[in-house]
Amino acid sequence: MPAVSKGDGMRGLAVFISDIRNCKSKEAEVKRINKELANIRSKFKGDKALDGYSKKKYVCKLLFIFLLGHDIDFGHMEAVNLLSSNKYTEKQIGYLFISVLVNSNSDLIRLINNAIKNDLASRNPTFMNLALHCIANVGSREMAEAFASEIPRILVAGDSMDSVKQSAALCLLRLNRTSPDLVPMEEWTARVVHLLNDQHLGVVTAATSLIITLAQKSPDDFKTSVSLAVTRLSRIVTSASIDLQDYTYYFVAAPWLSVKLLRLLQCYPPPEDTALRSRLTECLETILNKAQEPPKSKKVQHSNARNAVLLEAIALIIHHDSEPTLLVRACNQLGQFLQHRETNLRYLALESMCTLASSEFSHEAVKTHIETVISALKTERDVSVRQRAVDLLYAMCDRSNARQIVAEMLGYLETADYSIREEIVLKVAILAEKYAVDYTWYVDTILNLIRIAGDHVSEEVWYRVIQIVINRDDVQGYAAKTVFEALQAPACHENLVKVGGYILGEFGNLIAGDPRSSPLVQFNLLHSKFHLCSVPTRALLLSAYIKFINLFPEVKATIQDVLRSDSQLRNADVELQQRAVEYLRLSCIASADILATVLEEMPPFPERESSILAKLKKKKGSGKLPENVNGNAELHAEEPAAANKASPPPPTEVLALNPTPPAAAHSLLVDVFSDLSAPTAVAEDHLSRFVCKNNGVLYESQLLQVGLKSEYRQNLGRIYVFYGNKTSSSFLSFSSWVSSSDVLKTQLNVHAKAVEPVIEGGAQVQQVLNIECVTDFSDVPVLNVQFRYAGTLQNIEVKLPVMLNKFFQPTEMTSQDFFQRWKQLGAPQQEVQKIFKAQHPMETDAAKAKLLGFGVALLEGVDPNPANFVGAGIIHSKSAQVGCLLRLEPNTHAQMYRLTLRTSRDSVSQRLCQLLSEQF
């Protein structure tokens, strides 16, 4: 083929590239490129038409220049021209240029699409392939729009070549990934599934990739693929390797296809059909058997391919989780890999075992490998493998081996890599809590944890230990003794000081009998750490001191001296200063009884899910841990419960010193940590403003603004609530819901849509509340808002202005009608009359506006006295409609009003009268 090789050579291009490569400096390169660009421009500009060869050459050069990082702003037209050439090489370069340099230039896109269309219709397989590759490479929305309907047809057409089908399947996969909405698959589903039966293994491989993606989106449509996949898999697995010729890779039959089929099967539960099921089991057994055979080749590719299939099969076994024998065999197989000298294999084995451990069938089998895993933890050189070992230990832990595992993890923690320390700390804390039979062991473990890796112990961990100590009477004395001993170490971590301060403050009296830990010794020990600590810890220690005053009156003078010193009373930090001042005053003024009440021992905390677990989950969510690694049967059971909780339990609550704080030190004692105590403000004063108004600001504080916009139609209403973050930092775990009294719940349906859990600083989010009035009501629902700002939990309760009059529908009627109805509603309980003093200036226009806002229609010329107001309306509720007539008689001399209401229901009359009378 001498002619072709000459055509392919493109000597000019080769010379140009070698020139560029030989350039000594950047400047020289730019010069050479400028020269070449000028040359190409003059060639493209030239009057005589270029032949295909030179066009291809120049387009190639432009492509090369573009890939070097220079802008190309011409030549697109020539590239598009190349697309219509009949020579493969020219077409190829044209498509290459388009794939690399295409932009959404409208007129060119049309030309390109046209060329692609022609090629797709050309029946020449190479051209069709080029066109399909181009579509897949560009993969833009425009491409998807133009060809989404065409490609499935090519894919399933009986006369398409195998290679074209292969490309079409992959092209469709790509379009499906980028713009799934544009690719309609419904009508093709059955025929695509049948591609699994295709004779050509390449087509099957490509089709499997496509089906996996589609099946993940709509599993039901592709259910039929399961049986085909199993059949195909069993044919591959049982085949002699000669059958598949091209698709045998280092003695492994079609490894890629096998892996993909196994993945596809993982999208579905185990097949129902027993025959199919046994066939699949047989396949999996064969794969496991093959792993036992001696390797057929020493090459690494052989073992890689074999292990890939094996691991995928194990993943499927774990996914099905129904065949105990298979699970145990898989576990044994992985156990062998645990000692393999290949690091990657050990990693994969550990990872798969983590998921295996969560299965009830194989949990015990996994546990037999504990020694190997522990030794892996100690000896592995790669930190990621060690991390997997930690995960696996966590997953295989249960009551029987918890002590051993926790001890090993603690031991490892001292030498652990910094990147995984925090996670190990959390895991140790959780395991210790979960499997603690005896709480002294738990306290020891956590204190050890703080000692070894104090920096990595998050707040949640030590909050938790305090919660548990307070809730368990039996360990309090032991805990006090242990922390006292731990604090005696010359250098101890700040977290230990916190725990120590808190526990001694609460239970120091339990060990005060021992002269070695007399009150003064305890106090001096704590105070020796005081100056080395940060402000929050110091604040906590001050609280501990005031508790000491209560517990041990004998050290009162010493502590008062400390509080009185300038470094406390005049501390630059406001929080510390305030605490010192207030505690000092409290200790001076209050009698022993009051002190004892104020500084009472903490009541037990309500039992709740461990906040540590929530933290670990959060870490998992951030992608540090694969989702299924930590699976433990018990853990999984807990997860949904946690998900239901809107937010993790607030850590500040854990530390509240006293549940019933006296007014004197209200904001201080509620909460040891934060100066921003969480106020539960029920804002009511704004409520009456909303009787005659639908929009406005409902609540406003320094942090948050809540605005309302509401609309009502008949018995339905919709309220848009706007939450505006007025600070510059974001609100975390934001949630809001509406609560109603039990009576109100039957009268009014309120449905609140969920809001985003995070509000960025300065941002606003909207929540929609749908309201339905079932029957007349007089209570008001309450809007609860909860969020975390700067580490403190904020709670806000606001009454939601949903009143009966909101469901008013005004009615116009004549004077005659009005009086007729007025008389009909003459029963004494139907009429309500109220005479009250005006609170606002008595202006006619204002009063009119208020009545209109209230919801009634104002009737002119009904009342003989023009100064009086007369109105009518109907209140809509789901159960009934209540007609309503009202009359308001102002008396300007006495500054009084007389309001008369007649409705068909007495409760409605009462409520409306009450609402309206407040407005004047």
Binding-site positions read: 11-12, 43, 53, 57-61
Contact (CB, 8 A) for 797 and 784: yes
Among 56, 57, 61, 76, binds other proteins (CB under 8 A): 76
Nearer to other proteins, 115 or 262 (CB): 115
Comparison of 11 and 45: residue with beta carbon closer to other proteins: 45
Q: Which is nearer to other proteins, 79 or 410 (CB)?
A: 79
CA distances to 196, 232, 234, 284, 604 from 279, in Å: 17, 11, 7, 9, 58
* 8 Å CB contact between 205 and 212: no
Q: Distance between CA 415 and CA 428 in Å, rounded?
A: 15
Q: Is residue 34 involved in binding other proteins (CB under 8 A)?
A: yes
Find where tokens 């295996």 sit. Answer: 356
- CB of 37 or CB of 870, closer to other proteins: 37
Between 21 and 516, whose beta carbon lies closer to other proteins? Answer: 21
Phi, psi of 694 (to 5 degrees): -110, -20
Nearest to 916 by CA among 879, 884, 894, 891: 884
43 or 153: CB nearest other proteins: 43
Q: Shortest gap between Cβ of 458 and other proteins (angstroms)? A: 31
Identify any residues that bridge with 707 across adjacent strands, giving them in sequence order.
Answer: 697, 722
729 binds other proteins (CB under 8 A): no
What's the min distance (Å) between Cβ of 33 and other proteins? 8
* Residue 43 to residues 11, 46, 155, 263, Cα–Cα distance (Å): 17, 5, 41, 54
Give dist(CA 406, CA 66) in Å, integer.
59
CB of 35 to other proteins, least distance (A): 4
Residue closer to other proteins (CB basis): 23 or 703: 23
Q: Which of residues 93-132 bind other proteins (CB under 8 A)?
A: 105, 108
Contact call for residue 245 and other proteins (CB under 8 A): no
Stated length of the chain: 920
What's the closest the beta carbon of residue 74 comes to other proteins, in angstroms?
5
Q: Is 531 in the site for other proteins (CB under 8 A)?
A: no
- The distance of closest approach from Cβ of residue 109 to other proteins in the complex, given in angstroms and rounded to an integer, is 12
Contact status: 45 vs other proteins (CB under 8 A) = yes
Residues 6+ apart with CB under 8 A from 43: 50, 54, 58
18 contacts other proteins (rule: CB under 8 A): no
Establish if 24 lies at the interface with other proteins (CB under 8 A).
yes
CB–CB of 119/86 below 8 Å? no
- Whether the Cβ atoms of residue 183 and residue 175 lie closer than 8 Å to each other: yes
733 binds other proteins (CB under 8 A): no
Q: Of the two residues 77 and 489, which places its CB atom closer to other proteins in the complex?
A: 77
Are 206 and 198 in contact, with CB atoms under 8 Å apart? Answer: no
* Coil, helix or strand at residue 697: strand
How many residues touch other proteins under the rule CB under 8 A: the total is 18
Count other C-beta atoms under 10 Å from residue 653's C-beta: 17
DSSP for 325-381 reads HHHHHHHHHHHHHHT-S-HHHHHHHHHHHHHHHTSTTTHHHHHTTHHHHHHHHHH-S
Q: Which among 583, 585, 584, 580 is positioned nearest to 570, based on CA atoms?
A: 580
For 904, which DSSP code? S
Candidate ranges 68-76, 82-90, 141-149, 522-530; the one touching other proteins (CB under 8 A): 68-76
Distances (CA, A) of 251 to 83, 235, 237, 295, 400: 42, 16, 12, 9, 44
Taking phi over 0 as left and psi of -120 to 50 as alpha, with beta for the rest, 537 belongs to: alpha
Written as one letter, the residue type at 268 is Y
Q: Is the separation of the CB atoms in 583 and 566 below 8 Å?
A: no
Nearer to other proteins, 56 or 76 (CB): 76
The reply to whether 25 sits near other proteins by the rule CB under 8 A is yes
Work out how close the CB of 100 gets to other proteins at its nearest, in angstroms, rounded to a whole number: 15
Min. distance of Cβ 72 from other proteins in angstroms? 9
The answer to whether 35 contacts other proteins (rule: CB under 8 A) is: yes
Bridge partners of residue 699, in order along the sequence:
706
Residue type, position 512, single letter: A
Near other proteins by CB under 8 A, which window of 69-77, 238-246, 337-345, 653-661? 69-77
Q: Which stretch binds other proteins (CB under 8 A): 33-41, 491-499, 628-636, 692-700?
A: 33-41
Q: Residue 103 CB, nearest distance to other proteins (Å)?
A: 8
Taking CB under 8 A as the rule, does residue 64 contact other proteins?
A: no
Tell me: does residue 381 bind other proteins (CB under 8 A). Answer: no
Which residue in the set 15, 38, 275, 532 belongs to the binding site for other proteins (CB under 8 A)?
38
- Site track 820-839 with other proteins (rule: CB under 8 A), x = hit: --------------------
Is the dihedral angle over the CA atoms 581, 582, 583, 587 positive or is it negative?
positive
Of 26-34, 144-152, 754-762, 771-779, the segment contacting other proteins by CB under 8 A is: 26-34
341 binds other proteins (CB under 8 A): no
- Which one of residues 39, 440, 735, 910 is an interface residue with other proteins (CB under 8 A)? 39
Cα angle 434, 436, 441 (rounded to 5 degrees) comes to: 140
55 binds other proteins (CB under 8 A): no
Choice from 1, 2, 18, 73 touching other proteins (CB under 8 A): 73
Q: Answer whether 396's CB lies under 8 Å from 404's CB.
A: no
- Judged by CB under 8 A, the residue of 9, 15, 31, 219 near other proteins is 31
Does residue 32 interact with other proteins by CB under 8 A?
yes
Closest approach of Cβ 16 to other proteins, in Å? 13
Q: How far apart (Å, rounded) are the C-alpha atoms in residues 19 and 16?
A: 5
By the rule CB under 8 A, 48 interacts with other proteins:
no
Stretch that binds other proteins, among 71-79, 323-331, 358-366, 474-482 (CB under 8 A): 71-79
| Those residues with Cβ within 8 angstroms of residue 765's Cβ, 6 or more apart along the chain or in another chain | 722, 723, 734, 755, 756, 759
Q: 618 near 581, Cβ under 8 Å? A: no
153 to 192: interface string for other proteins, x by CB under 8 A: ----------------------------------------
Contacts to other proteins by CB under 8 A: 24-25, 31-32, 34-35, 37-39, 41-42, 44-45, 73-74, 76, 105, 108
